[in-house]
Amino acid sequence: MILAIILAVLIIGFIIYLKRKPKKSTVNYVLMVKTLTDDEKAFEVLLNTHREKNALKPLKCDLEASRVIGLHVDWMLINGIKHDRFADRLGYLMNKGVKSAGEILAYKHRSPKTAFSAFLNSETHKKQINVGSWDAFGISIKTDSLGKKYYGILFIEI
């Protein structure tokens, strides 16, 4: 008898739980505004100093591209460093008028300076940094729960 009462209470509680209205999210991802962190600003200086030394035009930071790569870096914090769904990011940006894009990713580097040095020591990443047709870039640097930094840079040609 007691077991039947406990079971009935649990079932009623579960039904009430299922019928409750979910809380509305206060985050509007479409209207999120991206501002650069100190690390991202430091990386921008390193990037443009390198480009100018190599007779390449400096790149403007594009906040929409930064928001797009930021969403991917959020994803990487959970799933690890991967270029998954780059075609989706490219398609989204092309719908906004971007002609082409390239992406470089890194993690575990403690500072923008060490991350940038690692990019320059990789021929593949260095080629992306040195593309002459890039007009702008987006950047996101975030830290996971273990203190490891994840870097995402999205270069765009407008």
CB neighbour class for 73 (10 Å; exposed up to 12, middle 13-18, buried from 19) = buried
pTM: 0.77
Asked if residue 29 has pLDDT above 80, the reply is no
Q: Which of 98, 74, 99, 104 is nearest to 86 (CA)?
A: 104
pLDDT in the model for residue 65: 94
pLDDT in tens, 87-140: 888 888 999 999 999 999 999 899 999 999 999 999 999 999 999 999 999 999
Q: How many CB atoms lie within 10 A of CB 32?
A: 10
